[in-house]
Structure 1
């Protein structure tokens, strides 16, 4: 089982929290967090440059989940069950967190699914931490371990 979390931008002061979750997750799954440099975007037309870079990194059989406020939302139990299905069927799952201006339409088109963590807009750094927490919670649920801690 392999899960990658790619983020367009640097984690900065959130990196320590993300590393703690990666460490906790490592007993369940091989997980990597990749911080990708991104264009200093003030113009949405520059999103394409980031998209080209990401699309070149993807393999045809990668299952791409784009974090998107307009994506499908789950409660924790449903997310765990969905994750379980993906892990059985897919070689590598990639969760992609866009930069401050979101993601280009070409990434939305390539995504196998779009996932919303909240109806509220979250920064890319906070999105990564919430995603990692929910992945950890999902593995605890799937392993019949207590997950309210």
Structure 2
């Protein structure tokens, strides 16, 4: 099973449709669960660290002992699509649950990064939150097509 925990929501209809399309495609190979965590209002906190701590508390409630946690972070390791597929294959074939965590506009707290088994960076570029979620789903889908030998990845 794959769980995707996201801080923030998708507002644009076309991004929602893209996410749903990838989740539908993935459903033939794995169960996928998406959890949206409300992004905190910056105006309610004295500093970003306090805001991130509050978001982290809510994220950690959805992560169980023994789950393999992958956090997306600009300072993480960059993987090729084949390496990402290999990671998926190793975990899924063992029946392990993988949890992907996507931070909000303020990033993620150190507590979440420390809980991670792996930090991954897609790029040094900054992406809009809604678009990044689609990129994550697309890469998970691409990974499964590589695993299954389906001609999608070139």
Question: Which range, TM-score by smaller chain?
Answer: over 0.9
- Structure 2 residues without counterparts, runs of 5 or longer: none
- 1:76 paired residue number: 81
SS of 2:35's equivalent in the other structure is strand
Alpha-carbon distance in structure 1 between the residues aligned to 2:22 and 2:75: 25
- 2:54 paired residue number: 49
TM-score normalized with structure 1 length? 0.92
Would you tell me which structure has more strand in proportion to its own residues?
Answer: 1
Q: 1:66 to 1:90 in 2, by over 3 A?
A: farther
Alpha-carbon distance in structure 2 between the residues aligned to 1:112 and 1:148: 26
- 2:9 paired residue number: 10
SS of 1:57's equivalent in the other structure is coil
Alpha-carbon distance in structure 1 between the residues aligned to 2:27 and 2:42: 33
Q: Quick check: 2:145–2:153 contact (8 Å CA) kept in 1? A: no
Question: Are 1:108 and 2:113 an aligned pair?
Answer: yes
Q: Quick check: 1:63–1:90 contact (8 Å CA) kept in 2? A: no
- 2:22 paired residue number: 21
Cα distance, 1:41 vs structure 2:
2.8
- 1:124 paired residue number: 129
- Structure 1 residues without counterparts, runs of 5 or longer: none
Cα distance, 1:89 vs structure 2:
3.7
Cα distance, 1:69 vs structure 2:
1.0
SS of 1:74's equivalent in the other structure is coil
Q: C-alpha offsets along residues 108-132 of structure 1, whole Å, 9 cap, x if unaligned?
A: 1111111111121112211111011
Q: C-alpha offsets along residues 8-33 of structure 1, whole Å, 9 cap, x if unaligned?
A: 00011121110111011111111112
